[in-house]
Structures are given as structure tokens and as C-alpha cells.
Structure 1
Amino acid sequence: MRAHRLSALPLLFGLALPLPSLAAPELSVRLNDQPLSPKWNALAADRYDTELELEPGQLQLAMPQSTAQSAPLAPFRRQPLGKDSAYRYEVPEAGRYRLIVETGTAAALRLLPIKAAEPKAAAPVCRAWGGGAVDVAVGDVFRDGQTLRDALSGATAIVRNGQVTLKPAADSDGLLLLEAGEPAGAEPSHDWRNATVYFVLTDRFANGDPSNDRSYGREPDGADEIGTFHGGDLKGLTERLDHIASLGVDALWISAPYEQIHGWVGGGDSGDFRHYGYHGYYALDFTQLDANMGSEDDLRALIGEAHARGIRVLFDVVMNHPGYSTLQDMQQQGFGALRDGMAAYLPEQWSAWQPEAHENLHAYHNLVDYEHPSWAAWWGRDWVRAGIADYDTPPSSTVDPLKGSLAFLPDFRTESEAVVALPEFLARKAHTRAEPREGYRVRDYLIEWLTLWVREFGVDGFRVDTVKHVEPATWAELRAAAERARSDWARANPDAPMASEPFWMVGEVFGHGPEASDYLDQGFDALINFDFQAQAVAASDCLAAAEPSYADYARRLGETPKHNLLSYASSHDTALFSQLAKGDLARQRGLAAALLLAPGAVQVYYGDESARAFGPSGSDPYQGTRSPMNWAEHERPEIAALIEHWQRIGQFRARHPAIGAGQHRLLSPGQPYAFARELGEDKVIVVQAR
């Protein structure tokens, strides 16, 4: 969710006029009780930022007259700033941070790590493996005389006196994955608690059809291509399904493929790159595929080929907001207006506008008359809060998470009971499935548009964006409609491999951990687990560091049978694991075990298996998490060996539902570290001799 928000405009609908000289915020900034003197930059009226070089310790932020006890400060989140506000943040390790302060009527601050703080090495809970054979007590799980197989080396051993002796594979870091050596019976039934979900930003993954790379007149910027479309599409995804399947993946989460804004907005707070909706979060028409993604036949081919490989396809969906307005969409879709005389400053194709040397890309707002009545032809005041013309101005999302605006994006009125007409620009749009409906509210249209992909194409589930910014009743309605759509598709396609599969929905509640919550009663089967990423670095060095989390996750799943979680180590909204591990391939290999052996569903972010590196970011420190898939590096021997390691562990997970859904039992906390997972007759033991 968050990273694409952080590249939003400081003033989307305001004018980027030269700023007057403004006084710095009255905010006390201290590190370990020592005062700091930050140099403040004025971004806009009542909005400032500064960069801080911080050493480990406690950062203290307080208003000058505050007498309140300091509250914990969560990085990335916008925090309210009142006259008695005081916050503290435990700086884990030296690094650079950006502090943004707003001093207007909705005063707030936000702390953003520019270079994510890298966790210190895990405590030495286990020592390095010496390379020899390992004695493992397995009698509590497997019977004497039973043959066990190590999934990494392929070596086998017979259980004698409750024990086996096996030598781990040379490149395994002492890891043994023990399973019954007898041929498996029927394929295990699918269990979402054991799912491996592969998350792809489609535009950055694989280009299967270069002819669609510049759809709607979109152009590369010829520089770092931070926020432009790179050419990845549905055909490219289909061509790479065998790679995805080789990792044991049974669900593919793709970025929203429906039509995005055609133009760009200024990227980052500095407006230093053109930011298109390549990530799928800036929707223009929810009923059409974006031409950069390909055709409907391409989508049908992707889903059909994925289903044939046992892979379910999940769409990323958004109901909180549509995309920004842009010069290109104003010109092509016929909404909005320019200020008097400003047309002379625009080329024939408005999207080709260039700022003057003293301006940045946010300055195009100087050309636009946001108070003109013709903005009614855009979404309309009955559909969104946008703070322009006669539209209502949304509050801060911190003040009102349901009706507030995220990063100045237009906020859909999903809570409204008012009957609305189809937005004017959609009513006259040449290619759309959006049709006027009698008695429809805003959420009725959105639900119909999102679920048509389920009914017509067989989409298997949704990853839902910005869950806590939409009222619970709307999510429940979306889920019910998606299930009806799924049933309609199954009846029309009774022979499809996934026709009997239920619909699945996982939610992004930013900051949520592994715990069960009321969201499970609102149509969600699982929630993303934001806690695991912080533990992944230590666990990648030594698997025993994950033991407390493993035991906790398995306990929660066992106590609440309908509960599930989706753990990850890299994401588009926070950081890549390769950043946190400083490019250490041994730790990237260790991550395969730490993540893929976790209880509950897990998410692999594209390139986790190949150590995809952080890319260019400009003034948005999170854009680099969306770098292109590093296909060219897959031929390097060390990367090929890394991928093979991920494949072996991923396939081991896929064979054994007990890994994600079973009871977790610690067998040995020391040398070697060992645990068992059991689900009915499915049993495995994991050992790390370190």
C-alpha cells in the first residue's frame, strides 16, 4: 500500500507557485537527550522536511511546551501533531531519515527511513556447521524402520532406535528437510494456510509484447525510468509461469491490471521524475484492462495456463480511491480546465509539457484551474472528495481513516447511501463496460466493476489494498458479490481445473501482525503479517532465531481455525530483503528457509529468489523496491544455485501442508536446532546444524 503513496504530490490540487519564505516548524528534535538543529526545507505552505543522520538510540520529537509523556512513533505513518504532542523512536542502527512536518490545521509529522535501518546480527543461538554428518532424534515423529529423505540433498536414511544420521548438502548451511521416503500417495489437498503466494508488479516482471509498451502515448523518460512503464505485461507473465511454478507457488498475486490514468504526475516530494500508474493503484476505468498489460485474450491465457499448473490468480484491488487527474487525461477524457491564457504554455500533446529550469514536475499544476465548474465531468462530487471546484475537501486520513485522503488521492464515498449517476467522463468514454444502473450507490458500482473480473475471467481471489480506509460493511459486500461471481464462473466453466475452488481474499491492514482480528468477520480469509520482515534478517542467518515466531504463528492458527496470515520479507511498500541483507547471497539463501518454512501463508516478492537489487528511487525512497526482474542474472552460477535452493525448499513446502497448517513442535533448541510439523498423516522434521 504505502510506498506508492509516499511518492504522491505535496499539493495535488493546489498550485505549485513559488513559496514565500516560511518560518521553520517549532519542534524540538533530540537524540539521546542531545538537541539537534535540523535544517528545514519548505515544501509548500505549512509543510516542511529535513534529513537527519541518526546514530542508534532514542529520537525524541516534541512541541516546545509539551508536558505529555512521549508516545512511541511508528515509522512510515502520519502522526497527529498537537501542542502537547511528544513522540519517541528507538533508532535501531545508524542511518538517514527524512522527517516531514505539517503545521496547518491538520498538523502532523511523519518519519521515513531513507535507507532502511539494518538490524544487528542475531544473537549467536547456534554455531557454524562443521560440514559433517548430523545425528537427529526423530522417534517422536517417525517409526523405526521408516525411510526418511532429505529434500535438499536427496540422501536417505532408515530410522533406527528413533534416530537417523545424515550429512546435509554442501551448500545447505547445515539444513535438513526430512520427509517420509516412501512414494507419496494422492496429491495433498490445497490448504490456504500453506499457500505460497508469488507477488508480481506486472510492469516490472517480463515483457512479452513490446508493441504495447507505449500505450495511450506514454513515453519513457530517458533517464532512470523510476516511475515510467517498463513494458512488463500479461504475456510476459504467462511466458514465465514455469519459473514461478518451479518455486512451489500455488497463488500468483498480480498488480491491478485494469486501466490506469494515461498520464503522469510529478513523482516524489521533489517532483523529480514522471510517475505513471505502472503499479496499478491509480485507476481510471476499473472495467477495462490497461493496454500496457495486454488484451483480454492475454488475461484468459494467463489464468488458463496458471490454473493448468495449479496456480491460482489473485488481483490487487482498490476501493478507497481512483487515480489522480493528469494533463493527458484532461485532454483525452475532456474534463477539467486550464487557467486563462495557460494553453499557450502547453504543446500539442499536453503530456509532453516540460518544466522550466527553475521548476520541477509539480509545476504543471500552475496551468490548471482547479476551481472551474468543468471538473464536474471528472468523477463528480457525489463520487469522491477531492478538494477542488465544488467537491468536498477530505480530512486527513489520520483524523478520519475512512473519509480521509491518502496522499491527496481522491477519496471514494463508499460509505454513502446516496444513489449516484455514472461519472460523466465514463458515460462518454469510448471503451468501457461501465453502464448506468438504477439505484446504485458508489460502492455498488465499484463492487460490480471489480467482480466482473471474477465472473468473466475466473480470477481466484483478491489482495485488497488499504483495508482500514474503507468501512467494514463495504468489504463484506465485496466478498459476498465475489463469491456469487465465482459461482457464476464455475457454472459456466465446469471443466476448468479451479472450478471447485472457493474464492479467497487477503487484506492489507498496514502494520497488522499475525493476530486474529475482527477483519476476519468482514470477508477476509487472511491479513498480511507486517511483523515478519523485521525478523527475517536474523532468521536468515540462523533459523533458530525464527523459533519464537514459528511457535506463535502455529499456536494462533491452531486456536483460531478460520484465521490465516500472509508473511513476507520483501515488499513494494517497505524494503527489499536484499537491502536489509546488504546483498549477502548466503542470507538470501537463508531467507528461503526462514520464509518458506513459516506457519501460515507466505508471500515471495518477485526476485526474492534471485537477489533482485534495489533500483533508482529519486526523492521517493521506496520506488527502488520496484526494480526490474533481474532475468539476465539468472544465468550467473551463483544466482542459478540460489534459485535452485529456493526451488527445492518451495517444492518441499508444496508437498507438505503440515508446514503451513500443521502443529509446530520444537524437538531440539540447541545443536542441532530441530522442529516437527504435523497435520494428520503429513509429517516433516526440519533441522539446522549450526
Structure 2
Amino acid sequence: MMRHGFCSSMLIAGLMLAGAPVSRAAEIDPFWGNATIYFLMTDRFANGDASNDAAYGRLKDGDALRSFEGGDIQGVIDKLEDGYFRDLGVTAIWTTPLIEQVRQPQQEYGRSYAFHGYWPKDWTTIDQAFGTEANFAEMVRLAHAQNIRVIVDVIVNHAGPPVGGDDPAWPESWVRSTPPCDFATFTGTTSCLIAPGLPDIRTDSEASVALPPFLVEKWRAEGRLDREVAELDAFFARTGHPRAPQYYMIKWLTDWVREYGVDGFRVDTAKHVDPQVWAALGAEARLAYTDWKARHPSALAEEHDFYMVGEVFNFGLDDFERGIDRDYNYGDRRVDFFDYGFDALINMGFVSHAREPMPELFARYASDFEGPFAGRGMLNYISSHDDPAPLDPEREKAFENAIKLMLAPGAAQIYYGDELNRPLVALGATGDARLRTPMNWDALNTADGQASLEHWRRLGRFRADHPAVGVGRHLELSRTPYVFARRLDTAAQSDAVVVAYSASTPFTRTPAGGIFAEGTDVRDAYTGDICRVDSEDIICAGERKLALFERVPPDL
């Protein structure tokens, strides 16, 4: 897939020859610590090109919500051009895997196709149902033009199911088909099958293996065998890695960074792979990102680090489930994934913790970020593609849950449609298909849908303008109404905000907590109102139940 040689500049050539690693920063870049990441399931988000809906002859004969529905990269491009993500305050887009998937259905909660992107067949090309590499390049370019980063979902743990025909089995030198994971030990979690029918890539092996014959024949038929082999030869010569499965994967995945400027990886099933693999992937991805930026010095308005966030199931803040401080507890071994290239982990505990009142939730998280998670990133969410227990599946407390997610310490993941109260239940659908309903764009034609979107937009733009929201020090100022401040003071930047919220009684006066100087004007970013700091309080002319106070922007 790679078009550009690695030695595209003397700088990168020097790094390459010296074998110098590009390591993760000691502390997370505040941009990523405060990120608002829009996670979209590409097939379910927007159909921008109906001509690819039946790619590879796939039929729409799966069980309920288990066939390809038509969403594609062009649909994402269309929404970028409309300013949808920018207006929502999104700072990064995370797509489900776009690489080529197996073509035939597999039995998973019924007859299911690989619409979700997690049954890979060829890591070096885009699945035709999602579009083309030209589409992908345009998506990244448009996102970067709006200072929005692009995160792709990466899979190293497993291949797609070998159904037969167009989806042949991987060689035994590449995959294992037994035993099933028992999740009781490190080996019983990493060197095993996480699900029936999904071949486990031998990421624990350092033994050299030949390319799978079916992949050789596929590339030959597509007219790119010689190029792909030459690139692999160059990669292994440069790195000195053995031709083991894990290093093929690392080469293929980081090519998307080096060629197109992908800004980050969301790592699927991170706890099911030896963490040393993630360290190697992160190091190579950072080299690739440095290479891409050297070739595209004006593509990004701001300089930020490459970002790697991991899905470690059953792990989160406040010692959630298998968490012990920053460690994941395998039973016979503990692993701190932040020591293996990760800038952040997904906070699987948020949907449980967010059932608490907001003051307790925020205080608990602030304590963790000043303690074991200091300088590290965690990504909160209220719903996701494979968490069977979303915070509010009926969307009964959508207004307050949006506030909890968007104003909690840490980064925020908006799962596509959270902002429009997309249904998380579907008639006839089973298992995770209920979490993967098509995007409810028709909600934009309703007053409730427009009100919900506007609520999320105001919260999202406030987050984007103020890194203190996600990474600043938390200070509670009042319980009635609930008022807190966030302050960020570093050598590089200074930022401070005050937030007030009451679910019942509206207010006109809130404590300023010394954040804003006496006698100054401040702006409520939620309403646009200008208020005044007087006698250590922020005083507004009209009542409100939610206020997002900031210094008056200089352009007002």
C-alpha cells in the first residue's frame, strides 16, 4: 500500500539509520487529554456513495442489523464538508476499521457480515464497501483542514473467520485455532481465541513466516505483488525484525500513518496481545508520523503528538473491575499499559460511575488524575459499539448525561448519534447489533433533535476552546447549585473556567472561586450572555440552569 519510501528526508533517514526510537511523551499532550473524539461506525453513519453498497457481491441477507447498510467514507466526507464535526466541537474522528474484510457471513448472534470492520482479511487496502484509498486520503485532508485529527481502529489480535471460498484459512504458522480464552491468566487471555471462529494471530511468536499463499495470489491478481513484497523487504531490512506475524501487522498498519497522515490509533482488544507488541507498534507509528509531517509541513495548523488509545476491557478509573491503580490485573500478572506505548486507555468504568451524582463523579475522577493517572489520558463514554450496558439506553436522562460526559475530567468519546439520541434498542436485533443502529439523521427534522444537537454543540465547543475542562485541576466551589472550576497552568498554556449546574432550581448568582478577577466581565459560553464578577460571585441578569463561564473572548 505504501507509495513513499521511508527515507523521504535526511532527518528521517538519520533517525532510521541510527535506529533511534520515537517514544511516547512523558505526559499526555493536553490536546489529547482534553480531546472530544467522535467515534463512528462507518457502515452505519452515512451513505455517500450508493454504488459500493453491494461490494464483492455481498448480499443483504443477514439477520436484523447484521448486513452491510451502506455507510462509507464518502458519507464522512460529506459531513466534514457540511461542518458537522467542526460545529460539534469535535477534535478527532475515530472510524471503525476500514481495511478489507472477509466477504462471507459468519454465525455471530445469527447470520452476520463484517459490516463492523473487525473481521480483517487484508490489512493493506480499503474494503470496497467503504470506498477507496482516494476517498480515505480526501477524508484525512478535509479533517486536517479543520484542525480535526483522524484516528483509525487497528486490529492485531485476530483475523476474520475462514468461512471458505473467498475467505480461506490463514496458515497455522500465522494463527492458532485453539484454545479458547479462559481470561483467568495472562496466557489464558493473550494466547487464545477471544471468540469462536476468529483465528488468533500468533503475536507471541518471533519465528519468521512466509506470506499467506492466499494473500500472495490476491496481490498478484490485483497487480501489486511485486510492490508489496519489495516494501516488506525494505521494512524488515531497516528494522531488523524477524518476519514474524506481529511485525507484518506493524508494517501494514503504520503504512496508513506514513502514507496518509493518520494521527492516532485506537487499539482493539489490547489486553489480548502481549504488551510488547503495542510498544513496538507505537514506536513505529511515531516514526511514520514524523516522516509524514516532514513531507507535509503545512498540512496541520497545530503541532500535536501521535496518539495511541487502547481498549482494555474490564479496566477503568477508580479501580474498575480488573483495574488496580494503573495496572490491569490478569490474575497471575499485572500490566501497566501506559508503559507500552499508550497515551490513553478507554475508561470502561464511566458508564457505571456516571450513575452517581455529578459532584461525586467529578471528585472521584479528579482524585485519580491527581494520583495514579497523573499525566495519563483516559477516554470516557456513555455508549459504545460493544459495551452491552450503555449508561442510558432509553435516552431518558440525555440532557444531564451529555453534561456528565462532556465536562468530566479526561477526554470524551461521542459515539455516533449520542448527540441526536440515536436509539440503542432495535426490534429484532440481538447482541451488539442493538448498539449499532443506523444514524438517525431524520432527528434533525424535529425540534427535539435540533435541541439535543445544539446542547451537545455548546458543550463540545466549550471543551474545544478550553483544555482546562479535560486536564485542568478540579475545584468544587458549591453544591447548590453545583459549581466547580477547572484551572490549567503550564509553561505552554494557561486556562481557567467555572461551570454551574442545577437540575431543578435556576440561578443568577454563582461563586467565582477567585478564578476571575473582581469587577471583570465573563461570558457564559452556553448562552452567550455577558455576566459580571461582583463580591466574589458571578452575577448574571437572567436565570439559568447551566452556565459555562469563561473569560470574555478578545474578539467580542
Could you state the TM-score of these two structures normalised by the residue count of structure 1?
A: 0.61
Q: Which residue of 2 aligns with 1:211?
A: 51
Does the 8 A contact of 1:568 with 1:603 survive in 2? Answer: yes
Q: Is 1:662 the counterpart of 2:472 in the alignment?
A: yes
Distance in 2 between residues matched to 1:636 and 1:575, nearest whole Å: 28
Match of 2:40, as an amino acid?
A: V
Provide the alpha-carbon RMSD of the alignment. 2.0
Q: Is 1:404 the counterpart of 2:195 in the alignment?
A: no
Distance in 2 between residues matched to 1:396 and 1:526, nearest whole Å: 26
- 1:212–1:526 distance in 2 versus 1, CA, 3 Å: same
Q: Which residue of 1 aligns with 2:25?
A: none
- 1:404–1:398 distance in 2 versus 1, CA, 3 Å: farther
Distance in 1 between residues matched to 2:184 and 2:477, nearest whole Å: 46
Q: CA deviation at 1:309?
A: 1.1
Q: Which residue of 2 aligns with 1:565?
A: 378
Q: CA deviation at 1:580?
A: 2.4
Structure index of larger Rg: 1
- Select which of 220, 245, 266 maps to 2:107: 266
Q: CA deviation at 1:301?
A: 0.7
Q: Which residue of 1 aligns with 2:482?
A: 673
Does the 8 A contact of 1:493 with 1:499 survive in 2? Answer: no
Q: Which residue of 2 aligns with 1:652?
A: 462
Q: Which residue of 2 aligns with 1:531?
A: 349
Distance in 2 between residues matched to 1:684 and 1:396, nearest whole Å: 47
Distance in 2 between residues matched to 1:466 and 1:216, nearest whole Å: 27
- 1:675–1:394 distance in 2 versus 1, CA, 3 Å: closer
Match of 1:202, as an amino acid?
A: T
Q: Is 1:468 the counterpart of 2:271 in the alignment?
A: yes
Q: Which residue of 2 aligns with 1:349?
A: none
Q: Is 1:520 the counterpart of 2:360 in the alignment?
A: no
- Select which of 74, 90, 94 maps to 1:253: 94
SS where residue 401 of structure 1 aligns?
helix
Distance in 2 between residues matched to 1:484 and 1:445, nearest whole Å: 16
Distance in 2 between residues matched to 1:581 and 1:332, nearest whole Å: 38
Does the 8 A contact of 2:64 with 2:429 survive in 1? Answer: no
Distance in 2 between residues matched to 1:588 and 1:536, nearest whole Å: 12
Does the 8 A contact of 2:147 with 2:302 survive in 1? Answer: no
Summarize the alignment of residues 363-382 of structure 1 with structure 2, pairs less than 5 Å apart: 378-382=169-173
SS where residue 487 of structure 2 aligns?
strand
Distance in 2 between residues matched to 1:331 and 1:519, nearest whole Å: 39
Q: CA deviation at 1:575?
A: 4.3
Match of 1:218, as an amino acid?
A: R
Distance in 1 between residues matched to 2:39 and 2:248, nearest whole Å: 27
Q: Is 1:608 the counterpart of 2:418 in the alignment?
A: yes
Does the 8 A contact of 1:202 with 1:233 survive in 2? Answer: yes
Match of 1:552, as an amino acid?
A: R
SS where residue 256 of structure 2 aligns?
helix
Q: CA deviation at 1:548?
A: 2.2
Distance in 1 between residues matched to 2:302 and 2:486, nearest whole Å: 30
Distance in 1 between residues matched to 2:380 and 2:289, nearest whole Å: 26
Match of 1:674, as an amino acid?
A: V
- Select which of 84, 95, 98 maps to 1:243: 84
Q: Which residue of 2 aligns with 1:549?
A: 361
Q: Which residue of 1 aligns with 2:34?
A: 194
SS where residue 208 of structure 1 aligns?
coil
Distance in 2 between residues matched to 1:309 and 1:245, nearest whole Å: 7
Match of 2:470, as an amino acid?
A: G
Distance in 1 between residues matched to 2:424 and 2:267, nearest whole Å: 25
Q: Which residue of 2 aligns with 1:384?
A: 175
Q: Which residue of 1 aligns with 2:140?
A: 303
Q: CA deviation at 1:472?
A: 1.1
Q: Which residue of 2 aligns with 1:597?
A: 407
Does the 8 A contact of 1:246 with 1:647 survive in 2? Answer: yes
SS where residue 288 of structure 1 aligns?
strand
Match of 1:523, as an amino acid?
A: G
Does the 8 A contact of 1:227 with 1:267 survive in 2? Answer: no
Summarize the alignment of residues 565-644 of structure 1 with structure 2, pairs less than 5 Å apart: 565-575=378-388, 577=390, 580=392, 582-584=394-396, 587-616=397-426, 618=428, 620-644=430-454
Q: Is 1:287 the counterpart of 2:147 in the alignment?
A: no
Distance in 2 between residues matched to 1:498 and 1:324, nearest whole Å: 42
Does the 8 A contact of 1:203 with 1:231 survive in 2? Answer: yes
Aligned residues: 436
Does the 8 A contact of 1:416 with 1:441 survive in 2? Answer: yes
Distance in 2 between residues matched to 1:558 and 1:614, nearest whole Å: 34
Q: CA deviation at 1:552?
A: 2.6
My pick for the range that moved more, 425-434 or 211-220, is 425-434
Q: Which residue of 2 aligns with 1:127?
A: none
Q: CA deviation at 1:620?
A: 3.3
Does the 8 A contact of 1:394 with 1:411 survive in 2? Answer: no
Match of 1:647, as an amino acid?
A: R
Match of 2:44, as an amino acid?
A: R
Q: CA deviation at 1:581?
A: 5.4
Distance in 1 between residues matched to 2:99 and 2:302, nearest whole Å: 23
Q: Which residue of 2 aligns with 1:415?
A: 204
Fraction of identical pairs, as percent? 43
Q: Which residue of 2 aligns with 1:48?
A: none
SS where residue 252 of structure 2 aligns?
helix
Q: CA deviation at 1:536?
A: 3.1
Does the 8 A contact of 1:581 with 1:588 survive in 2? Answer: no
Distance in 2 between residues matched to 1:503 and 1:552, nearest whole Å: 28
- 1:250–1:468 distance in 2 versus 1, CA, 3 Å: same
Does the 8 A contact of 1:203 with 1:293 survive in 2? Answer: yes
Distance in 2 between residues matched to 1:321 and 1:444, nearest whole Å: 14
Distance in 2 between residues matched to 1:508 and 1:192, nearest whole Å: 16
Q: CA deviation at 1:561?
A: 3.9
Distance in 1 between residues matched to 2:71 and 2:376, nearest whole Å: 34
Could you state the TM-score of these two structures normalised by the residue count of structure 2?
A: 0.75
Does the 8 A contact of 2:422 with 2:439 survive in 1? Answer: yes
Distance in 2 between residues matched to 1:395 and 1:613, nearest whole Å: 32
Q: Which residue of 2 aligns with 1:278?
A: 115
- Select which of 207, 228, 238 maps to 2:67: 228
Q: Which residue of 1 aligns with 2:166?
A: 332
Does the 8 A contact of 2:65 with 2:429 survive in 1? Answer: no
Does the 8 A contact of 1:427 with 1:434 survive in 2? Answer: no
SS where residue 144 of structure 2 aligns?
helix
